Structure 1
Amino acid sequence: MNPVSSEQQPTDFEPLEAYGVVGNLETVALIGRNGGIDWCCFPRVDSPSVFARLLDSERGGHLTIAPTGSFEAAQAYVDRTNVLQTRFSTAGGEATVTDFMPVPQRTAADDHRAIYRRVTGEAGSVDLSVGFEPRFDYARTVPTIEHTDYGVTAGSDGERLGLSGRCSFDVSRGAATANLRLDAGETRWIVLGYDRPVRIEPEAHGELLDAVVDYWREWTHSCTGSACPLEGPWHELAVRSELVLKLLIQRGVGTIAAAPTTSLPEAVDGSRNWDYRYNWIRDAAFTVQALAELGHLDEIEAYFEMCLTHCGQGTPAEMQPVYGLYGATDLTEHTLDHLAGYRGSTPVRVGNRAATQRQLDVYGELVVGVSEAVEYGVDLLSDHWPLIEGIADHVCTVWDEPDVGIWEIRGDPEQFVYSKVMCWAALDRAIAFVEDGDIESGGDLVASVDQWRETRETIRETVFRRGYNEELGSFVRSFEADDRLDAAVLRLPEVGFLPADDPRMEGTIDAIQRRLTTDEGLVHRLDGDDGLPGSEARFVVCTCWLVTALVDAGRIEEARRIFERLGAVASPLGLLTEEVDPETGRLLGNFPQAFSHIGVLTSALALTAHGGPANARSQSYPPFGLDDQPSTTYPRGTDSENTNH
Structure 2
Amino acid sequence: MTTDGYTPISAYGLIGNLETAALVGADGSIDWCCLPYLQSPSVFGALLDVENGGHFRIQPAEPFESSQRYEARTNVLRTDFETDAGSARLTDFMPILSADPAAPFAQPWVFRKVECTDGRVPLDVDFRPRFDYARGRTTVESLNGEIVARGNGEHLSLSTDAALQTDGVSASGVDRLEAGDVRWHTVQYGQRKRPESVDPETLLARVREYWHNWTHDCRTVATGACPFEGPHHALVERSELVLKLLMHHRTGAIAAAPTTSLPELIGGTRNWDYRFSWIRDAAFTIQALNKLGHTRESRDYFDWCLDVIHTESETFQPFQPMFGLHGDTEITEETLDHLSGYRGSAPVRIGNAARNQLQLDVFGELVHALYETCQYGETITETSWETISDVVEYVCTLWDKRDAGMWEVRSDPEQFVHSKVMCWVALDRGIEIARAHDFDAPIGHWASVRSDVREAVIEQGFSDATNSFGRSFESPELLDAAALRIPLVGFLPIDDDRVQGTIDAIRDRLTTEEGLVYRYEGRDGIAGGEGAFLLCSFWLVDCLAMSGDLREAEALFETIVEYASPLGLFSEEVIPQTGELLGNYPQAFSHLGLINSVLYLQAGEEGVPKPDLDGVSSHPPSAT
TM-score normalised according to structure 2 size: 0.93
Structure 1 position 512, deviation (Å): 0.7
**Change beyond 3 A, Cα 1:612–1:543:** farther
**Change beyond 3 A, Cα 1:396–1:105:** closer
Report the Cα distance in structure 1 between the residues aligned to 2:333 and 2:188, rounded to whole angstroms.
30
**Quick one: which amino acid aligns to residue 283 of structure 1?**
D
Residue range with higher mean Cα deviation, 454-463 or 140-149:
140-149
Determine if the alignment matches structure 1 residue 118 to structure 2 residue 116: no
Report the Cα distance in structure 2 between the residues aligned to 1:159 and 1:122, rounded to whole angstroms.
37
Report the Cα distance in structure 1 between the residues aligned to 2:335 and 2:593, rounded to whole angstroms.
30
Report the Cα distance in structure 1 between the residues aligned to 2:202 and 2:469, rounded to whole angstroms.
57
2:619 maps to none
Structure 1 position 581, deviation (Å): 0.5
Structure 1 position 198, deviation (Å): 4.6
1:407 maps to 407
3-state SS of 2:562 partner: helix
Contact 1:134–1:142 under 8 Å retained in 2: no
Structure 1 position 202, deviation (Å): 10
- Output aligned runs, 1:515-534, within 5 Å: 515-534=509-528
**Change beyond 3 A, Cα 1:107–1:181:** farther
Contact 2:132–2:152 under 8 Å retained in 1: no
1:213 maps to 208
- Output aligned runs, 1:133-532, within 5 Å: 133-199=128-194, 204-224=199-219, 227-313=225-311, 316-436=316-436, 438-441=437-440, 445=441, 448-532=442-526
Structure 1 position 386, deviation (Å): 1.5
Cα offsets for 1:194-236 (capped at 9, x unmatched): 1114538699211211111111111111124992211222211
Report the Cα distance in structure 2 between the residues aligned to 1:540 and 1:68, rounded to whole angstroms.
38
3-state SS of 1:310 partner: helix
Report the Cα distance in structure 1 between the residues aligned to 2:363 and 2:316, rounded to whole angstroms.
9
Report the Cα distance in structure 1 between the residues aligned to 2:548 and 2:140, rounded to whole angstroms.
62
2:598 maps to 604
3-state SS of 1:227 partner: coil
Question: RMSD across aligned C-alpha pairs, in angstroms?
Answer: 1.7
Report the Cα distance in structure 2 between the residues aligned to 1:224 and 1:298, rounded to whole angstroms.
18
Give the one of 571, 575, 578 matched to 1:581. Answer: 575
Report the Cα distance in structure 1 between the residues aligned to 2:258 and 2:192, rounded to whole angstroms.
24
Report the Cα distance in structure 2 between the residues aligned to 1:167 and 1:394, rounded to whole angstroms.
61
Structure 1 position 329, deviation (Å): 1.4
Identity over aligned pairs, percent: 50
3-state SS of 1:63 partner: strand
How many residues are treated as equivalent by the alignment? 599
3-state SS of 2:305 partner: helix
Contact 1:261–1:276 under 8 Å retained in 2: yes
Contact 2:163–2:175 under 8 Å retained in 1: no
**Change beyond 3 A, Cα 1:171–1:612:** farther
1:567 maps to 561
2:125 maps to 130
**Quick one: which amino acid aligns to residue 20 of structure 2?**
T
3-state SS of 2:252 partner: coil
Contact 1:192–1:198 under 8 Å retained in 2: no
Question: Which 5+ residue runs of structure 2 have no aligned equivalent?
Answer: 608-624
Higher relative contact order (CA 8 A, sep 6+): 1
Give the one of 93, 97, 107 matched to 1:100. Answer: 93
3-state SS of 1:427 partner: helix
Determine if the alignment matches structure 1 residue 45 to structure 2 residue 38: yes
Structure 1 position 246, deviation (Å): 0.4
Moved over 6 A (4+): 200-203
Contact 1:191–1:200 under 8 Å retained in 2: no
Cα offsets for 1:231-253 (capped at 9, x unmatched): 22221111111110000000110
Contact 2:137–2:152 under 8 Å retained in 1: no
**Quick one: which amino acid aligns to residue 597 of structure 2?**
S
**Quick one: which amino acid aligns to residue 98 of structure 1?**
T
Determine if the alignment matches structure 1 residue 62 to structure 2 residue 55: yes
Contact 1:150–1:166 under 8 Å retained in 2: no
Report the Cα distance in structure 2 between the residues aligned to 1:105 and 1:349, rounded to whole angstroms.
30
Question: Which 5+ residue runs of structure 1 have no aligned equivalent?
Answer: 1-8, 614-645
**Quick one: which amino acid aligns to residue 131 of structure 2?**
F
Report the Cα distance in structure 1 between the residues aligned to 2:247 and 2:378, rounded to whole angstroms.
18
Structure 1 position 450, deviation (Å): 1.2
Determine if the alignment matches structure 1 residue 109 to structure 2 residue 102: yes
Structure 1 position 612, deviation (Å): 7.9
Contact 1:107–1:215 under 8 Å retained in 2: no
3-state SS of 2:406 partner: coil
Determine if the alignment matches structure 1 residue 557 to structure 2 residue 540: no
3-state SS of 2:157 partner: strand
Structure 1 position 10, deviation (Å): 4.8
